[in-house]
Amino acid sequence: MTLTKELQEKKVGKAAKSAQKKELKRERKAKNALQKSCEEKNITEALFIGTRVKHILPRTREQEQIPECTREQLQQKFSLWNALAINALFVLKKGDAAAVEKFIGDRVGTQLETPFLKVVLRETQEKLIQQVLSTVFKANHVVSSVKENYNAAAVESKVSLLRKDVFAAQQGEFFNWIKSDIARSSGKENSACQFEELAKQSRIQKESILKKIYKMIFKKSCSSELDLHFLHVQEAKIATKIFLKNSVKKKTDTRQIRPEIKIITGQGKHSEGGLSKIRPEIESILTEAKISFNSPVGFFSFYPPASLVV
C-alpha cells in the first residue's frame, strides 16, 4: 500500500468517526430535549421534537424496545413523523407502556389551542374534508340556482364556535387512537377496543360538525356563485375544485350562453395581517385549469369551461 493511499484511508476513517460523533451528539441533544418536554408533560413540544429526530430514531438501538406492531399501527394512523414522536416517548420511558399511557391520558380532554397542534390535526383530515364537502355539494343548495338568505355576522360567530368543537373532536380521535395502540401493546385488548370505539365516535362527531359548518357557509352560494368566506385555505381549494367540476358545460345544455360564474375570495380582511391567503391559491387553480378569467378586487369571474382538468 502506498503512503498516499494509506493517508487517504486514514483521512476517510477520521471523517467517518467525526461524522459518527456528531450524529451521537445530535442524538443525545434531541433525546435530552425530548426527555425534558416529557417530564414537563408538554406533548406539543414532544411532537415537535419528534419531527426533528425522525432521521435519528430509526438508527437507535433503544428503539428495539418498541413493539413492531405498535410502530406499524401508528404509522398507518398518522404521518410518519407523528409515529416517530410517539415512538420517542416509548424510548424515553424505556418501554414502559403504562407510563406512556398515563402521560397521553393526562392530555386527553384538555384544550391544547396551539398553532402547531392545530396544523398537526388539520393535516390528518384532508380526506375527510374532501368527503364531507362532496356530500354537501351534492345534497345542498350549492347546485341550486338560487341563493338563500344569509346573515354574515351570525354565520361567522357560529362557525367560529363550531370550529372549536371540530378541533376538540379531532384531538379526541387523535389521542384515543394512540391510547388504543398503547393498550394493545400492553396486552389490554378490551381497553384497546374501547379506545378505538371512542376514536371512531370522535370521527363521526367531527364529520357531523363539519357538515353543519359547510351547510351554513354555502347558504350564500349557488350554482353560478361560490363564496369562500369563513373557509380555511385547504377547504377553499377543495371546494373550488369540486365547484369547477360541477360548472363544466354539459353536452345536454343547449343554451348558447350560460350565466357568468363567480368565485368570491374576499380581500383578506378576515386573514392574519390583512392579506388574502385564499385568493392566490384560487388564482393558481384557475390558471392550472386553463380557465380564462377576470379578476376584480375580491372575486374571480369566468364563463363555464367546455372541459376541465383540475
Is 97's pLDDT higher than 70?
Answer: no
Q: pLDDT tens digit string along 122-151?
A: 555 677 788 888 888 876 645 555 566 678
Angle between helix axes 43-52 and 97-107 (nearest 10 degrees) is 120
Helix (H) or strand (E) holding 121: helix 115-123
- What sign does the dihedral 211-226-128-232 (CA atoms) show? negative
Using alpha carbons, select from 79, 155, 85, 70 the residue that is nearest to residue 122: 79
Beta bridge partners of 226: 263
Q: pLDDT tens digit string along 18-34?
A: 767 776 676 566 556 55
> Whole-model pTM?
0.62
Of the given ranges (25-39, 153-167, 186-200, 286-300), which has the lowest mean pLDDT?
25-39
Helix (H) or strand (E) holding 299: strand 299-302
Using alpha carbons, select from 180, 195, 181 the residue that is nearest to residue 66: 181
Q: pLDDT tens digit string along 168-177?
A: 887 778 777 7
Cα 66 from Cα 43, distance rounded (Å): 19
pLDDT average, residue stretch 263-290: 82
User: By three-state DSSP, how is residue 225 classified?
Assistant: strand
68: exposed, middle or buried (C-beta count within 10 Å: 0-12, 13-18, 19+)?
Answer: exposed
Cα 208 from Cα 166, distance rounded (Å): 9
Cα 43 from Cα 112, distance rounded (Å): 9
Block residue for cell numbers 359547510: 214
User: By three-state DSSP, how is residue 96 classified?
Assistant: coil
Q: What is the pLDDT of residue 76?
A: 46
How many C-beta neighbours within 10 Å does residue 80 have?
12
